[in-house]
């Protein structure tokens, strides 16, 4: 079953605008990660936010985490055509012991129009 | 520093055949995980290896197997291929097991497997 559920499923914006994508999850986590994927290629790691963090920045990216609502958001400011891609949130699905795996949502397709 | 390298990039196989995919993690990374990505099911976890031991396994049939070598390179094998095995297979490497170390996972470009 999908742990992370992104919202919206698709987003189309004009270059220069901000893009906000949301992710909700079901169980407690240690961290949440956001990835980008360009047209069937590999996943590019964007940012990791730990469960004890509320906000994190990396360049034009801003990620927030609200563990009480089990949700995260990814904000891309001043979007560019090159930001066109699919974006995934992934959680580590905490379990006891050393085992862990990333559980991904179905992804958000972002289109940035030039 | 080289990234995660997966070979081959593309593969076409016939139903019933078997296939082996390879993944070389980032130097120094000891954890390697495999994922299958399909349009219908999205990204699904296959298994994770750490220090040559399988630490976690997803909900896939026994036709899917893997192993990790002492140099942390990993292979996954799919036997008796079915049409539904057509997918992008992604490998990820990280420094440590995530739960304990909270480290990022870095993915390779994937192997596109087509079963005809």
Task: Give me the pLDDT at residue B1, please.
Answer: 63
Nearest to B97 among A48, A98, A104 (CB): A98
Task: Give me the pLDDT at residue A77, please.
Answer: 97
Task: Give me the pLDDT at residue B56, please.
Answer: 86
- Mean pLDDT, chain B, integer: 91
Cα separation of the two ends of chain B: 37
Confidence of residue B2 (pLDDT cuts 50, 70, 90): confident
- Mean pLDDT, chain A, integer: 88
Nearest to A101 among B4, B58, B100 (CB): B58
Task: Give me the pLDDT at residue A59, please.
Answer: 96
Buried b / exposed e over A23-61, threshold 16 CB at 10 Å, is: bbbeeebbbbbbbbbeeebbbebbbbbebeeeeeeeeeb
Question: Nearest CA of chain B to the CA of A24: how many Å?
Answer: 16
Whole-angstrom Cα distance, residue A54 to residue A51?
8
Query: How does pLDDT run across A20-43, given as a tens digit for each residue?
Result: 999 999 888 888 999 999 987 889
Interface of B with A in 37-76 (CB under 8 A): 42-43, 45, 48, 50, 55-56, 58
Supply B11's token pair. 């593969």
């Amino acid at each position: 079953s999908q742990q992370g559920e992104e919202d919206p499923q698709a987003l189309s914006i004009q270059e220069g605008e901000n893009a906000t994508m949301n992710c909700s999850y079901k169980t407690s986590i240690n961290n949440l990660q956001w990835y980008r994927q360009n047209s069937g290629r590999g996943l590019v790691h964007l940012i990791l936010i730990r469960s004890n963090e509320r906000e994190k920045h990396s360049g034009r990216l801003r990620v927030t985490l609200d563990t009480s609502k089990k949700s995260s958001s990814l904000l891309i400011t001043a979007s560019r055509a090159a930001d066109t891609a699919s974006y995934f949130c992934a959680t580590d699905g905490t379990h006891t012991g050393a085992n862990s795996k990333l559980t991904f949502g179905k992804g958000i397709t972002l289109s940035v129009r030039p | 520093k080289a990234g995660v390298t997966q070979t081959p990039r593309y593969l076409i196989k016939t139903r019933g055949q078997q296939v082996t995919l390879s993944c070389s993690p980032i130097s120094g990374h000891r954890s390697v995980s495999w994922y299958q990505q399909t349009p219908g099911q999205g990204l699904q976890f296959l298994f994770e290896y750490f220090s040559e031991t399988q630490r976690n396994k997803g909900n896939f049939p026994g036709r899917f197997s893997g192993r990790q070598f002492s140099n942390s390179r990993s292979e996954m094998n799919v036997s008796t291929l079915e049409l539904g095995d057509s997918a992008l297979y992604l490998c990820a490497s990280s420094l440590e097991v995530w739960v304990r170390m909270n480290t990022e996972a870095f993915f390779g470009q994937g192997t596109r497997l087509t079963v005809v």
